[in-house]
A = this chain, B = another copy of it.
Amino acid sequence: MGRRSLLLLLLLLAFLTPGAATPVPPALRALSSLHLSTSFRSRPAVAMKYSIHYIQQKVDHFGFHTDKTFKQRYLIADKHWKEDGGSILFYTGNEGDIIWFCNNTGFMWDVAEELKAMLVFAEHRYYGESLPFGANSFKDSRHLNFLTTEQALADFATLIKYLKRTIPGARNQPVIALGGSYGGMLAAWFRMKYPHLVVGALASSAPIWQFEDMVPCGVFMKIVTTDFRKSGPNCSESIRRSWDAISRLTEKGTGLHWLSEALHLCTPLTESQDVQRLKDWISETWVNLAMVDYPYESNFLQPLPAWPIKVVCQYLKNPNVSDTWLLQNIFQALNVYYNYSGQARCLNISETATSSLGALGWSYQTCTEMVMPFCSNGIDDMFEPHSWNFKEFSDDCFKQWGVKPRPSWIPTMYGGKNISSHTNIIFSNGEIDPWSGGGVTKDITDTLLAIVIPEGAHHLDLRANNAFDPVTVLLARSLEVRHMKQWIKDFYASLRKMH
């Protein structure tokens, strides 16, 4: 797997978080909604009606040289909110447009009535409309200087205090933080750093240990591989063999042309460095599939069938075929991901490299605080070997953003594996989600809980209820609700004790 691919992998967290609005080209988005209206079976039953609001936030919570402010966007849905005995569910927005996240976090909508909850969705600074310097926000490292997790958490804290002060009845209500993926990390960290503002956190698919050497750098690709191995006979082996097949095929003069035709690429491969780009793009496709391997039809980046890896693997049953045959099979497999709708005319290998606000911001974050090492060895996983080279990574970051990553900062700030003194955090992970490798999958204490969903992909539990949900995710959600109810109950009990 090439260097570029690993860099891009770091983007995937943004890319595949449900509702990361940014990297979906308009054409695909149109496709998706078409698809939705005809056959999407997981459409939540709950109508998602919210109001849009803005709060003035300090651009710099941690310095006083500038007193500049910017408008942070947030959404409120209070249909089921009760002043008496109610609660506030606070979505700690991650790297994308908050409306997209709001529409893709059905779980909160599904439980609002039971928890008498007001739903609040807070947009993360530097994403969506919440741009501290407007169009200049990504101009250079000076303008990007305030894009950190600490500033984002400070925004959330300020917003919660503001809501409690200004919404009649909200003052003495318990707030629970919820988030998925990077937003799940933020939810957990928010409870750790601001326990006075949230009584607990649900951190879904939050790889808080995917930093430094807390988990082996190869765990991510290993889980992707396991997903493919278990989804069909010889499936991962076929993929493992495909890399050399590509190399052999493209060594010959006509190979590039043949492969471009066989894979129906929109832009033919012309030079040898295109081969690495192709391999990276294919790798990313498998990774993406592992994350969105949901039990029902869904539409993230692409409209996909239920259990898409199983469908993919139907084309990859035989690794012992000729190189050309193997690559034709690979095309069929890719086509499941890129053309489930049947409307794509060709496949575009630069599709994941789209540059949008969300991708820009996340790329900067991975180059500063969110330094997550990844590697593969081709033995424990089905990818080409690639070691984690921090020096190279750091140099690339400096070239792109003019900043140097600080890989040990997140563990210093948020405690790494030593977090047992905190309370009331649920870490939920899907076992087939590659991000679970960097997540908390065992209880740490009796109030720092791990919920593992065997059939779960990336934060499946945060998605809306669906008739095809496996029973394990239903159980997970019901456990989550039970704990949230307990936190709410404890809050009101201690409130009564104080008065």
Q: From residue 452 to 499 of chain A, which have CB atoms closer than 8 A to chain B? A: 494
Q: Does A56 contact B (CB under 8 A)?
A: no
Q: Does A158 contact B (CB under 8 A)?
A: yes
In the A-B complex, the 6 residue pairs with the closest CB atoms: A196-B415, A65-B145, A196-B418, A195-B421, A64-B403, A63-B145
Q: Does A347 contact B (CB under 8 A)?
A: no
> Smallest Cβ distance from A209 to chain B, in angstroms?
13
Q: Are A146 and B416 in contact (CB under 8 A)?
A: no
> Smallest Cβ distance from A126 to chain B, in angstroms?
13
With A and B bound together, what is the CA distance between A65 and B412 in angstroms? Answer: 20
Q: Are B196 and A64 in contact (CB under 8 A)?
A: no
Query: Please, could you name 20 A-B residue pairs with CB atoms under 8 Å apart, sorted by A?
Result: A58-B406, A62-B63, A62-B148, A63-B145, A63-B146, A63-B148, A64-B369, A64-B404, A64-B406, A65-B141, A65-B142, A65-B144, A67-B403, A67-B404, A154-B412, A161-B408, A161-B412, A193-B193, A195-B422, A196-B415
Name the B residues within 8 Å of A419 (CB-CB).
196
SS class, residues of chain A in contact with chain B: loop
Q: From residue 129 to 186 of chain A, which have CB atoms closer than 8 A to chain B? A: 141-142, 144-146, 148, 150-151, 154, 157-158, 161
With A and B bound together, what is the CA distance between A154 and B409 in angstroms? Answer: 10
Name the B residues within 8 Å of A58 (CB-CB).
406
> Smallest Cβ distance from A494 to chain B, in angstroms?
8
With A and B bound together, what is the CA distance between A161 and B409 in angstroms? Answer: 11
Q: From residue 398 to 443 of chain A, which have CB atoms closer than 8 A to chain B? A: 403-404, 406, 408-409, 412-413, 415-416, 418-423
Q: How many copies of this chain does the complex contain?
A: 2
Contact partner of A368 (CB less than 8 A), chosen from B64, B142, B145, B150, is B64
With A and B bound together, what is the CA distance between A494 and B421 in angstroms? Answer: 12
Q: Does A241 contact B (CB under 8 A)?
A: no
Among residues of B, the one whose C-beta sits closest to the C-beta of A420 is B494
Q: Are B418 and A421 in contact (CB under 8 A)?
A: no
Q: Does A61 contact B (CB under 8 A)?
A: yes
Contact partner of A157 (CB less than 8 A), chosen from B67, B157, B369, B413, is B413
Name the B residues within 8 Å of A193 (CB-CB).
193
Contact partner of A196 (CB less than 8 A), chosen from B141, B151, B416, is B416
With A and B bound together, what is the CA distance between A408 and B58 in angstroms? Answer: 13
Please indicate which of the listed interface residues A58, A65, A67, A423 has the most CB atoms of chain B within 10 Å of its own CB.
Answer: A65
Among residues of B, the one whose C-beta sits closest to the C-beta of A405 is B64
Among residues of B, the one whose C-beta sits closest to the C-beta of A160 is B412
With A and B bound together, what is the CA distance between A409 and B194 in angstroms? Answer: 13
> Smallest Cβ distance from A306 to chain B, in angstroms?
42
Name the B residues within 8 Å of A151 (CB-CB).
62
> Smallest Cβ distance from A55 to chain B, in angstroms?
13
What per-residue 1/0 map shows which CB atoms of A299-336 lie under 8 Å from chain B? 00000000000000000000000000000000000000
Contact partner of A412 (CB less than 8 A), chosen from B64, B146, B158, B423, is B158
Name the B residues within 8 Å of A196 (CB-CB).
415-416, 418-419, 421
Contact partner of A403 (CB less than 8 A), chosen from B65, B368, B409, is B65
With A and B bound together, what is the CA distance between A194 and B145 in angstroms? Answer: 23
Among residues of B, the one whose C-beta sits closest to the C-beta of A417 is B196
Among residues of B, the one whose C-beta sits closest to the C-beta of A364 is B64
Name the B residues within 8 Å of A158 (CB-CB).
412
> Smallest Cβ distance from A113 to chain B, in angstroms?
28
What per-residue 1/0 map shows which CB atoms of A97-108 lie under 8 Å from chain B? 000000000000
Name the B residues within 8 Å of A418 (CB-CB).
196
With A and B bound together, what is the CA distance between A63 and B65 in angstroms? Answer: 14
Contact partner of A64 (CB less than 8 A), chosen from B63, B141, B416, B423, is B141
* Given A62-B148, A161-B408, 14 additional A-B pairs, CB 8 A: A62-B63, A62-B150, A63-B146, A64-B141, A64-B148, A64-B406, A65-B145, A67-B403, A157-B413, A158-B412, A193-B193, A196-B416, A196-B418, A196-B419
With A and B bound together, what is the CA distance between A415 and B160 in angstroms? Answer: 13
> Smallest Cβ distance from A253 to chain B, in angstroms?
47
Among residues of B, the one whose C-beta sits closest to the C-beta of A422 is B195
Contact partner of A415 (CB less than 8 A), chosen from B146, B148, B195, B413, is B195
Name the B residues within 8 Å of A157 (CB-CB).
412-413
Name the B residues within 8 Å of A146 (CB-CB).
63
> Smallest Cβ distance from A499 to chain B, in angstroms?
14
What per-residue 1/0 map shows which CB atoms of A367-397 lie under 8 Å from chain B? 0110000000000000000000000000000
Name the B residues within 8 Å of A421 (CB-CB).
195-196, 423
With A and B bound together, what is the CA distance between A80 and B196 in angstroms? Answer: 38
With A and B bound together, what is the CA distance between A157 and B408 in angstroms? Answer: 12
